[in-house]
Amino acid sequence: MIITKKALPRRTFLRGTGAALSLPLLDAMVPSLTALSKTPAKPVRRLGFVYVPMGSDISRWTPPGENDLSQLSPSLSSLAPVVEHVTVLSNLELKNSYPGTHATSNAGFLSAAKAKWTESTDYYLGTTVDQIAAKEIGQDTSLPSLEMAMDLMSMVGQCDNGFACVYQNNLSWSSPTTPLPSEAHPRIVFERLFGDGGTPEERREALRRKASLLDWVMEDTARLQAELGTEDRSRVARYLDSIREVERRIQKAEASTLDQELPDLDRPTGVPAAYADHAKLMFDLQVLALQADITRVITFQLARETSTRTYPEVGVPEPHHPLTHHGNNPKKIAKVAKINGFHVSLFAAFLEKLAATQDGNGSLLDHTLYLYGSGMGNPNVHDHTNLPVLVAGGSAVGMRGGRHIKYEEPTPLANLHLTLLDKAGIHLDRFGDSTGKLDELTEPLNV
């Protein structure tokens, strides 16, 4: 690379008329003496949380062996390419989510708190772990946190056994009385990350006026590329190609629905018709957001509790929620397991992209911790023990993957939250109903 007297600031932007674009971490963003010594730029720490509803068929979820993941269960088989970055944890529980409901499953997952039983606006929960992180590690980014979902829900009032819909609709809470709404529309998420704004009509007009955000910053891009070394130029080019591809997919989805009456009223214009395409696009937006350091904290509701979504692409034409009340019918349980495996496969593909994206002296996956799981265990009985939970990434902060940790006694999920915060540099004595950190996540297990 070219060594200059002054390093590029970490918050360097490509600028054009009406546009500003963040850049990924580059070697040129470190002081010249550091560059001479071949020490790469220091990465930041990041946390992500992916929620899946209605538990799992735990028999097909749980890995067959203890301590290691040399054998993956059917529901987790798609994790094989990234298994060395993954730890599965069995026998975690959410005591504060009882009595067992869908509302309290979603509400308790990141808060480990007891939701106030109410159908009105006097709801009360607790600050979620992502927002505790956002207050500490999200203050140096343009977005302290990013809340995403796959379902655009506007239901209000009572949704589940006397609990207000707000508990099911919102995964993230910045205070016990302040739920943070999630965004399911990829175009709006993209514009929140990279700018545009305005009403839906104004955004459509902006889309007609310009083919791509990147076209606005071409001149500044050319200037920057002339100043960078070979590796940084390639890194910027790959990053811009990723943005262009995401834009292309969003525009294609919008073009296919712009002049059509949507059969599904919950689906906003511009959302890919196929669930998998929508999910992959939302995951790709997360890669871009983390790579450009636009945010360091992300929550993503991969599906909503009580969802009646069908999954014909994996042989499940029946709605999800009714299937989970299977009454121990083997055929229904097998279909629930297919849905579980499908959701995991989407997350696995996302992890592969994080692992393939360079960040400082490693990858985005090395410098990011993701928690994937559900607040419900066995959906047939609505319990909150033996939750399907796994953690991925974080090798740069000492996380050891390729393992299955099975606790002898039910252990608070809050212990895992406390541990993840600690790994992100946020040290608390307690969180929710925690009883201590899970030090075994970074220590070798006795095999």
- Report pLDDT digits (tens) over 358-389: 888 899 999 999 999 999 999 999 999 999 99
* pLDDT tops 50 at residue 39: no
Report the share of the chain in percent with pLDDT over 70.
Answer: 73
For 116-144, how does the pLDDT look when each residue is reduced to its tens digit (9 = 90+)? 999 888 999 999 999 999 999 998 888 99
Which neighbouring-strand residues pair with 46?
368
- In the prediction, which pLDDT does 382 show? 93
Burial (CB < 10 A; 0-12, 13-18, 19+), residue 391, is buried
**CATH label, 46-184+294-441, candidates 3.40.30, 1.10.3680, 3.40.720, 3.30.70:** 3.40.720
Does the structure show a pLDDT above 70 at 201?
A: no
State residue 215's pLDDT score: 67
Exposure pattern of 348-379 as b/e (b: 16+ CB <10 Å)? bbbbbbbbebbbbeebbbbbbbbbbbbbbbbb
**What pLDDT sits at residue 260?**
41
Could you give the residue range(s) of every CATH 3.40.720 domain in the chain? 46-184+294-441
Mean per-residue pLDDT, 17-43: 52
Q: What are the tokens at 135? A: 């207050």
Q: Which residue has the higher pLDDT, 11 or 408?
A: 408
Query: Is it the case that residue 445 has pLDDT exceeding 80?
Result: no
Q: What is the pLDDT averaged over residues 144-170?
A: 79
Q: Is residue 431 predicted with pLDDT exceeding 50?
A: yes
Task: Count the Cβ atoms, other than its own, within 10 Å of residue 69.
Answer: 22
pLDDT at residue 314 in the model? 96
* pTM (2 d.p.): 0.81
Measure CA 23 to chain center: 21
SS3 191: helix
* pLDDT tens digits, 253-311: 666 544 444 333 333 346 888 999 999 999 999 998 999 888 999 999 999 999 999 99
The answer to which of 35-49, 265-279, 322-336 has the lowest mean pLDDT is: 35-49
3 state DSSP class of 441: helix
In whole numbers, what is the pLDDT of the chain averaged over residues?
Answer: 83
More confident residue, 365 or 188: 365
User: In this predicted structure, what is the pLDDT of residue 140?
Assistant: 83
Provide the pLDDT confidence category of residue 246 given band limits of 50, 70 and 90: low
Q: Which of 201-210, 344-353, 387-396 has the lowest mean pLDDT?
A: 201-210
